[in-house]
Chains A and B, each alone.
Chain A
Amino acid sequence: MEKYLDELPSVVEAIKSIKEIIIANIVFIGQIPAPTFKEKRRTDLFMERLAEFQVDECTTDAYRNPIGIIRGTSPSKPPVFVVAHLDTVFEKNVDHNYTVRKKRIKGVGILDNSLSIGVLASLPEIFRKLDLRFESDIVLAGTIQSLGRGNLRGIRHLLKTWNTPIRGAICMEGVELGRLNYYSEGMIRCEVECDISPTPGPLQKFKSNAILILNEVINQIMELRLPQRPRSRVIIGKISGGFKHGTIAGKSKLGFEIQSNSDKMVKSIYNDINDIIEDISHQNEIELKLKTISNLSAASLKYNHPLVKSAGAIIERLGLKPICEPSESELSILLAHKIPAVTLGITHGENIHLENATMEIEPMYKGIAQIVGAIMAIDKGVCDE
């Protein structure tokens, strides 16, 4: 590993020498819309690219996650997984054409997570360029149905149906270069829907207002006393409702997440919020529904796990300080299956979930070198202890 760290600058240059291929993959894949549950076209293209790069096996699992397998030299070693989610938050009628400039690429979904899928498709060529062979099979998995209501179904199914042990895994996210996620918090993602049906007659002006009802829900959630230990929080993430300025809102919707590094605490807060909602619903004689759309259990590697240490060493050698925060993503599911895994970011960027999301090109080569290094570390056995 030390040898690889010493060679990092030349590895970065070698990766850069095939920049056209890497950028072409990012653009080809990113320009295919892939809203959650509608990833088929992007899946087909990803598979096509893997096949063109002569990956030994290209297939989809029973849930239609596309997978490429680069055969290793030692059949007895379990495979190493490299994972990136295929879906984005943008619908297909949004303009998906990318703009490439000298230093940046701009386009919808590029940071979450088209860049990672483009890099994933380029890894076979990058390995060839670096003349790398691995003992383990390298499984390149683009997972579908990850975001929002997708609830990480793709990775859940992939791991549920993968019958043999997995040596370790790297999850890729577009940003930020330097992130080192090795634990995930327990989480429940919920929606509250308030639906006040119109009643006929002159009392329309005095009916309850669906927006104000949700406002009351938010106020009461904010009054909850959340513990510092285990660290817990409620994030109010989305709100919508109403019809027009002068009409009392009949419908409204609130989206939030409960996060904690204790699953028990997540459940306890969920019960508290459920009580709040039942109480407000009863007091106002209106229909208020709490729906769970996703949940995750807390899982973690130790900070001194060899995979975390190796990934941290690579990031530091690239001149960056590792940023360690929890990540609720594919990582959660891998860790829940007791598979050593980390999530790494590839480059710097801005406007991650806006239509003008922009990635920086130059730092990407370092980011890819870091991914390759982490794969090598797993292949050398850091997760075998």
Chain B
Amino acid sequence: MNSNWLKKNTFHHSEFKDINRLVEEKKRKKIKISLCLPTLNEEKTIAKEIIIMNSELMSRYQLLDEIVVIDSGSTDRTMEIASTYGADVYKANDILPKLEKFKGKGENLWKALYITKGDIIVYLDADIKNIHHRFVYALVGPLLLFDNIKYSKAYYDRPITFATGKKKTRPTGGGRVTELVIRPLFSLFFPELTQILQPLSGEYAGYRELFEKIPFPIGYGIETSIILDTYEKWGLDVIAQVDLERRVHRNQDTKSLGKMAFVILKTFCKRLEKLGMAELKSEFFNEMIQYKLGNDGYQPDIYKDKGFERPPIIEIPEYRKKFKVT
């Protein structure tokens, strides 16, 4: 096991706070950087993210070249608000419309590869309450300053807000799926990857040349698959992780986390099979079955996930044409 990785490839956001240096390096490398925010009903937090990134990393420093929102079909005012504050807003279904349509975060991230023009793409969840521009510059920093690094991922302390009585925050919490699902799986099959402290964090950045060559699960499995596929193709040394210190997010109930865990397990097992590390005797079932207590007793609450994955986007003719891939 390469246990040096944790020491060598782990950074703190403060190491990249000299934004001028990052802008210089970006100019020297003649590259563009895009920020992509996948959304689904995020009207409470989307404006703040766009405003802060626009103010700090587009107006004051020219680190970002564009902010793109890819929406899964919000029924609130997410798209209108995002547009008001200057982001380029797209409905996921309107991108590559000839392809079969899916709904999910991974789908939005995959389609963002077609829409954005950046050589580096930064993906941020749109529900970050304590958003700060370090969420972008600290992820971009290792990519610009270290030639070997092609993919950087956030980790942080995860206080959660809870809404009982007076709105208060408590200092720790969250990360349950990481500790109960992903970490045990990594420990069993890829011990080196346990050094990635928060493999499910929704904030990461990477070079287009990396993202375009790997498949994207359309839903929750996207974070797991990016790590596993990157590790398999290029090894651990191309990955960095950056301490962003603190991220306040919405707390999810255990049932929602159960659905997330279901999809992640499925993605993981598929990778195991592909790598020849495990053999499945039969196909997976596509339903996560939970139960809720109603007036007529316990009722099944079924969540369906077919585990569909988009192929590496470089295989899509429209993409090859747009980005002149020969």
Contact = CB atoms under 8 A, between A and B. Distances in A.
A95 B161 contact: yes
Interface in A1-55: 18-21, 23-24, 27-28, 31, 52
B48 A100 contact: yes
Contacts of A283: none
Contacts, number: 56
A97 B59 contact: no
Interface string B245-264: 00010000000000000000
Nearest to B166: A94
B51 A100 contact: yes
A93 B168 contact: yes
A95 B168 contact: yes
A23 B55 CA distance: 9
B248 A97 contact: yes
B195 interface: no
A102 interface: yes
Given A18-B59, A95-B167, A24 B129 contact: no
Contacts of B47: 100-102
B130 A97 contact: yes
B85 interface: yes
Contact of B81 (A20, A21, A27, A102): A102
A20 B54 contact: yes
Nearest to B167: A95
Question: How many of chain A's residues touch chain B, expressed as a range?
Answer: 20 to 34
A99 B48 contact: yes
Nearest to B171: A93
Interface string B151-169: 0000000000100001111
B80 interface: yes
A191 interface: no
Given A20-B59, A95-B161, A101 B51 contact: no
A355 interface: yes
Contacts of A355: 166-167
Interface string A79-106: 0000000000000011101111110000
Interface string B39-83: 000011101100110111001100000000000000001001100
A101 B46 CA distance: 9
A20 B86 contact: yes
B82 to A, nearest CB: 10
Interface of B: 43-45, 47-48, 51-52, 54-56, 59-60, 77, 80-81, 84-86, 129-130, 132, 161, 166-169, 248
13 contacts: A20-B52, A20-B86, A24-B51, A24-B52, A24-B55, A24-B56, A27-B51, A27-B52, A94-B166, A95-B161, A97-B129, A101-B43, A102-B77
Given A21-B60, A98-B48, A99-B48, 4 more contacts: A52-B60, A101-B43, A102-B77, A102-B84
